[in-house]
Structure 1
């Protein structure tokens, strides 16, 4: 048995993506305004056919794409990933009409998507969200209902679909408030935990929907959304009523290894920059690379980066194969890769010295970018909880570890 490796065509594609990111996407990213959606960058991602690949490449292809883009242009990687995160529920669970309206525009970069799950009081505990989806019906007469009779029917649309009003707040939403539509998760059944959540496709122009941008450490757009009795109907439901938590978790199981790939791309960029710097930097009568303490640190950076990459690829391959342990593997990939990238980038900054802290330096940029992935799409602590839960569940069923 040989060591795991990519096929030659996959390796060539990754190299091509790094070149495209450096030559065609980096200039557009540099012209963008931090904290705002870069629509020219999205349009170029669409023109290159990369946004279409969000829905056709499988988990491994998605990871290869995200790692390669992150190596040369983190802004391009993030723009692509956020399109996928917001639109995947439409692709996987949407109706024909929903797909026809939004997916072509997502693929060509003319419609911006967003995934609206987190709330001020429900970040890591996604099942505890409180955005209310209240049934909306006609005013009932002020007469008592006779005993043992059914309550008045819910108000329905002409096509027979139910109607709701969304009331509450979402927070830490990437691409908010500038997205063109949101995949919104709301509570349709109070007190039901994860089983009472429904996913809705909500266009940004719905009455009662407003938002505010947040000034964050990371340069990509993040904001809050306020829902003041925003109307939605059965035509806006993604999947089934009260089954939206499955939509959310299924999306995260696909995109969590991708977050790991993003982290691996940043780690590799920091490692390569450190190799070049320490090999030419004069110090103590030689170069930094000649100092054992430096050489050992670089070796550790490389070891951890390669290990994280393999775990990411394994998780993506398991997803594409429909393996039963995808939640565990996806959590492991995100956890290991994001924690590794934090270590590698921090070590790279230390070995570069003060120059790495100067605004505009690659490592100054990576240092700001690398922190957030340990939190979003499930913080590291949440990933450890998922891994442990899956391990104990498998042990209880008598399943052997792989």
Structure 2
């Protein structure tokens, strides 16, 4: 399927999702408390079968879900996305026992998942993690499952913390080894020594801190392989980054549609705002950038689904372009609406608070540029070596 074209069935599904988000999810979102996990909203996402699709759909379908939900209900989109972020490592790298224990509950909306990577001193530089996994021995030639560690340290800016039921936690098992010495653990929230607190953020997402005071984990809690947890993290982010772009595109489209409607009916200077060339050109620029971002998101997701070799670069490009575009589109929409858009409860006031965070989380824009540049120079180096061999 071409990345730039959706078939009629996909387009109809997107329209259905927008309708469901507006009619069934938005009322539940409005009843939720900002900065807290909205469990009734999660349960409804489960009843609609959308959470289960996190584990059965490809990257493009995930993008279509996130874009469609974001257009009508950003809270529902975020709740779904955070379940995917926290649970995907279990789906992709968990043991049968881990998957059986947690994934059905996530799909129903009964269990809240979280992805615990960032730390107070290691946000963008994920390889600099300092959360320690001390120990690792089992004694007497014990089997890998019998290995034991104690997690000590802190995590920060963790979505769904401290209210999640389990966390995918990345901890350093080999000191001084950079990204090669990190292990991913599945840590239930009721483990002794695990505490946390909520953070008040600009956007109304549930985000908090986690403190690990000798939290016990064993080989049965490892996701993937010991000292190979960075692969688990990057694999998850490569899947989710294009869909972060889809979230941004959904917000941009909502802002664009609101602006077209407003400027067409708002009279100023003897006629509708849309009759002013400067306004019409700004709206055209908003539409142009939104569509360009959408196409790049779809292309990156399709590349992931086809196991293309350049997925990290494409994912970084999609997230970068889409999130920066959404910031521009929402900001321009606010400007064209005037003071009414700054009033609490207005769609654009809501989007203005929502749109800022995606430029930072799951890799800030500067990190995405670094990923893109690193890939380009690696290809240049490989091309030079191939040229030398040919000569």
Q: Which runs of 5+ in 2 are unaligned?
A: 387-391
Distance 1:211 1:321 in 2: 39
Residues 124-178 of structure 1, C-alpha deviations (whole Å, 9 max, x = no match): 00000100000066xxxxxxxxxxxxxxx74787885200000000000000000
Q: Show the counterpart of 1:234.
A: 219
Q: What is the deviation of 1:57?
A: 1.1
Residues 119, 160 of structure 1: alpha-carbon distance in 2 compared, 3 angstrom cutoff = closer
For the residue of structure 2 that corresponds to 1:398, the secondary structure is helix
Does the C-alpha gap of structure 1 residues 156 and 232 become closer, same or farther in structure 2, counting only changes over 3 Å? Answer: farther
Counterpart residue number, 2:272: 287
- Give the direction of change, closer, same or farther, for the CA distance of 1:191–1:45 in structure 2 (3 Å limit): same
Question: Offset at 1:397?
Answer: 1.6
Computed over aligned residues only, the root mean square deviation of the Cα atoms, in angstroms, reads: 1.6
Corresponding position of 1:370: 355
Q: How does 1:1-400 map to 2 (within 5 A)?
A: 4-135=4-135, 154=139, 161-398=146-383
Task: Give the superposition deviation at 1:2.
Answer: 8.7
Q: Name the structure where helix makes up a greater proportion of residues.
A: 2
SS at match of 1:80: helix
Residue 4 of structure 1 and its aligned partner are, at CA, apart by 2.4
Question: Structure 2 CA distance, aligned partners of 1:265 and 1:33?
Answer: 23
The DSSP-based 3-state class of the residue aligned with 2:70 is helix
Give the length in aligned residue pairs. Answer: 385
CA distance in 2, matches of 1:106, 1:396: 44
Q: TM-score, normalised by structure 1?
A: 0.94
User: Secondary structure in 1 aligned to 2:383?
Assistant: coil
Secondary structure in 1 matching 2:69: helix
Residues 181/157 of structure 1: CA separation in 2 closer, same or farther (3 Å cut): farther
CA deviation profile, 1:91-113 (whole Å, cap 9, x unmatched): 00000000000000000000000
TM-score (normalizing by structure 2): 0.96
Contact persistence 2:145–2:218 (CA under 8 A):
no
How big is each residue's C-alpha offset from its partner over 1:280-332, in whole Å with a ceiling of 9 and x where there is no partner? 00000000000000000000000000000000000000000000000000000
Q: Report how far residue 380 of structure 1 moved.
A: 0.1
| Deviations 1:28-79, CA, capped at 9 Å, x for gaps | 0000000000000000000000000001110000000000000000000000
Q: Which runs of 5+ in 1 are unaligned?
A: 138-152
